[in-house]
Every structure is written in C-alpha cells, then in structure tokens.
Amino acid sequence: MSRSRTYRYLLQPTSRQRTGLERMCLSQCELYNAALEERRGAWAWERRSVSYVDQCRTLTETREVRPDLFKCGVTVCRGTLKRLEWAFAAFYRRCHSGETPGYPRFKAASRFDSVQWEDTKGWGLDTDNKRLRLHGIGHVKLRMHRPLRGTPKAITVSRQGKRWWVSIRCADVPAQPLPATGHSVGIDLGVCALVATSDGELVSEGRFAKRGRNRLAGAQRALSTKRRGSMHRRRACEAVGRAHRKVANQRKDLAHQLSRQLVNDHDLIVVEDLRVAQMSRRPKPRPNGKGGFDSNGARAKAGLNRSIADAGWGMLRSMLVYKAEDGGRELIAVDPRHTSLRCASCGHTESENRLSQAVFRCRGCGHRDHADVNAARNILRAGRAQRASARAGLGN
C-alpha cells in the first residue's frame, strides 16, 4: 500500500522572489477568472459544457496571446485550471445531492492566495541546500523544520498574511513502526476537560489558549471602531488575522503533542465514533415533578459543543489516524452511547449515576470517579470487546 503525506514548510523568499510570487498569484487569478468566464459563456450562449481537458488544450493558444501568464511554466497554469475543475465538481456534486449551492464565483486578486503544481514539472526540491526551485521565480530558501520522507509528487505554494508556505505532497512514505508498549487507552471528549483518558489523565486547553482568545477578541473590538477604507482599518484587519492564526496554531500544536504522546505510549487507542456521538450529545429534559424542569446542563453542553469546535477534535482525530497508521498502532472507534452513564466498575447504567458534569457516583456499587474518566474507561472496554469479537469472527 502506498501511503501519502503532505509536508508544509515556511518559504523564505528574497524581496525579488517575493515580488515574483505575488505576480504569479495575480496572473493565475486572471487565468482562473478567464477560464471561469469561458465555462459560463459556453453554457449561457451555446449550452455547451467545457471540461478541464478542453481548457488545457487551448492553453497553447493562450500562450501565444498572453505569454506573461506563462512566466512560471505551464504546469502551474494547469494547476489553476484543475482548481476550477474542483470548484465545478463540488458544485455539481452538491446539485446532485439536492442542495442549492452557489455557482463558482470569480475570485478577487487580493484573495487568490495559492497556486499549485499537479505534477513534477516546473519545480524541484533540493533538500541538501534547503531550496525550492520554482520556474520563473528562482531558488527559494526553505525552512525545513522536519525531514521529508517519501517521493515528492506535487506542491502548493500559498500566502498567509505576509508569509509564504509550500505544501509538498509525497507518495510512498515509509512507515515507522513503533515498539510495542503493552498499554491500551480509551479517550473521551470531555465535558470538563478537553480530553479525558482511561488512565485518569485530563487535558485542558492551557492558559496560552485563553490569552490568545482574549487577544483575538480585543483585536476584533479594535477593528470595529475603525473607519472603512482607512489605513488604521487595514492595520487592524491585519492584527485580527495574526491573532486568528496564533489561536489556530496553538490548537494545532496541542493536537500534535497530544496525538504523538497517545500514539507513542499505547498499542491500542479507542475513540468515540463521531457520527453516533453527534446524535447522542443533546441532554434529555429533566422534569422536577412540580410541572417545571430542572437544569439538564444544556447550557453547559452548548459550551461543550463550542469547545469541541474550538479544540479541533476532528483535527486531533485525523492526527491520531495518520500517526497510528504510521506507527503500526491500532485505532478503534466505538459507539459512545451510554458511556457517560455506565459504571466502569460494575456496569450499572442509570442516568442518576452522573451527579454533575464532573462527578460520577454509581448508585449500584458506590464507585466514584471523574465523570469523563469513567466514560473513557467505558470507551476502552467497548473497544476491547469490539476487537475481541472481530477476532473471533475472523477465526470462524
């Protein structure tokens, strides 16, 4: 099986290369909009649909008329046409599934922030000297903070604020199996903590995240007081962008560290099956016997849902998936229903078991635990059972 991975590195262009990159984005934006115009026009006037292949064929003619668009080679132009093709593919897919998506739109030059090379022509990677050669731009310095593995197949160069990045897609990435540890872990998406493990560990988002969010809120407030079109507004806009990226980076760092630690320390990792989790997450109403209702924690759950989005549980999960695959670890997703109400010690399941968001006390055996840790233990147990039955099924 061929594994593929994407590696992202910071580019450190000279000021001349920076200008080149900006021009390249401008010209590719122009090409994108022209290609979109062609598709729209052909359909509006002739009821004829134009494909990616058709547009690639006419590139040769375009080249004679507008050689300036081809300064960085033809591969990057094909990449731009491919991007338009994806936009249309997504549009048609959503049409077929009965949604009403917006027709692909023209892009503003200020927002056209990435270009791609879909094959290995027009660029080259010199890992020894840490340089990325881009046709028409030059040899751009690369900060290779981690080694690249596998065979580079395609790249995307993108701009984020004032920084330029390259994402290198590699195929045939060799696996790096990790030594067995003899440990297993269940992970619960906590109500109180971000993540609780069956080992009793609770992971919170950390104080930096809070500071980052406060900074973001401050930057947004500052932006709201600035006059449209003013220089102050532009600066405030940039500050909001920086604060956003900072918060996102902190979350990503936390997810990387956590997933790495979990994969390194455990042979078997059990997580909640998210499709089921989303359905079971709304708390039941709690009548108080006097015609009214007690608090069912819905507000706390709303907060929880927000923090799920904040914490990037999906991101953590996808990191777990690829790191587990790389390290030869087993990752199982289980149905999370009842895991928060079941006693991990005796199996007694009752909604009264959960005293509050944080405290679990079994009404059957009196077992007391942190509610999220109790749930994580149940998840681990369910994962082990699922694995055992799968193995028994294979044996027959």
The residues carrying an active-site annotation are: 188, 272, 372
Q: How far is the CB of 362 from Zn ion (least distance, A)?
A: 3
Q: Which is nearer to Zn ion, 172 or 350 (CB)?
A: 350
The CB-of-363 to Zn ion minimum distance in angstroms stands at: 8
Q: Which stretch binds Zn ion (CB under 5 A): 10-18, 88-96, 256-264, 336-344?
A: 336-344
For Zn ion, how many residues bind (rule: CB under 5 A)?
8
Pull the structure tokens for residue 153: 């197949």
CA atoms of 76 and 240, how far apart (whole Å):
31
Return the number of other C-beta atoms located less than 10 Å from residue 306's C-beta.
10
In DSSP terms, 330 is beta-bridged to: 268
Shorter beta-carbon distance to Zn ion: residue 331 or 371: 371
Residue 237 or 365: the one with the smaller Cβ distance to Zn ion is: 365
Which residues lie below 8 Å from residue 28, measured CB to CB, with a gap of 6+?
A: 69, 76, 77, 80, 112, 115
Q: Is residue 361 within the footprint of Zn ion (CB under 5 A)? A: no
Round to whole Å and give the CA distance between 161 and 166. Answer: 14
CA distance 18 to 13: 6
Among 208, 364, 368, 385, binds Zn ion (CB under 5 A): 364
Cα 350 to Cα 344: distance, rounded to the nearest angstrom: 12
- Tally the C-alpha atoms within 13 A of residue 161's C-alpha that lie toward its C-beta: 14
Tell whether residue 242 is a contact of Zn ion (CB under 5 A). no
Cα–Cα distances (Å) from 72 to 66, 76, 134, 202, in that order, read: 13, 7, 7, 51
Cα angle for residues 18, 21, 25 (degrees, 5° grid): 140
Residue 396 CB, shortest distance to Zn ion, in Å, is 34
Asked if 348 touches Zn ion (CB under 5 A), the answer is yes
**Angle in degrees, CA 352, 358, 363, rounded to 5:** 30
Closest separation in Å from C-beta 343 to Zn ion: 3
Q: Pick the closer one to Zn ion by CB: 337 or 348.
A: 348
Give whichever of 74 and 358 is closer to Zn ion, judged by the CB atom. Answer: 358
- Which of 184-192, 208-216, 253-261, 347-355 is the region at the interface with Zn ion (rule: CB under 5 A)? 347-355
Which CB atom, from 269 or from 362, has the smaller least distance to Zn ion? Answer: 362
Contact 198, 375 (CB under 8 A): no
**Sole binder of Zn ion in the list 130, 245, 252, 367 (CB under 5 A):** 367
Q: Which of 370, 327, 330, 362 is nearest to 345 (CA)?
A: 362
CB nearer to Zn ion: give 287 or 364: 364
By CB under 5 A, residue 365 contacts Zn ion: yes
215 binds Zn ion (CB under 5 A): no
Q: Which of 345, 349, 357, 386 binds Zn ion (CB under 5 A)?
A: 345
Question: Please, what is the minimum distance in Å from the beta carbon of residue 203 to Zn ion?
Answer: 26
Kindly write out the interface string for residues 288-327 of this chain, putting x where it contacts Zn ion by CB under 5 A and - elsewhere.
Answer: ----------------------------------------
Binding-site member from 36, 84, 115, 362 for Zn ion (CB under 5 A): 362
Distance of CA 61 to the CA centre of its chain: 39
Judge contact between 191 and 303, C-beta under 8 A. no
Does residue 368 touch Zn ion according to CB under 5 A? no
Establish if 346 lies at the interface with Zn ion (CB under 5 A).
yes
How many other CB atoms sit within 10 Å of the CB of residue 297?
17
H or E, element range at 332: strand 330-334
Angle, CA 236 vertex, CA 234 and CA 240 arms, to 5°: 115
CB 351, min distance to Zn ion, A:
14
* Interaction site with Zn ion (CB under 5 A): 343, 345-346, 348, 362, 364-365, 367
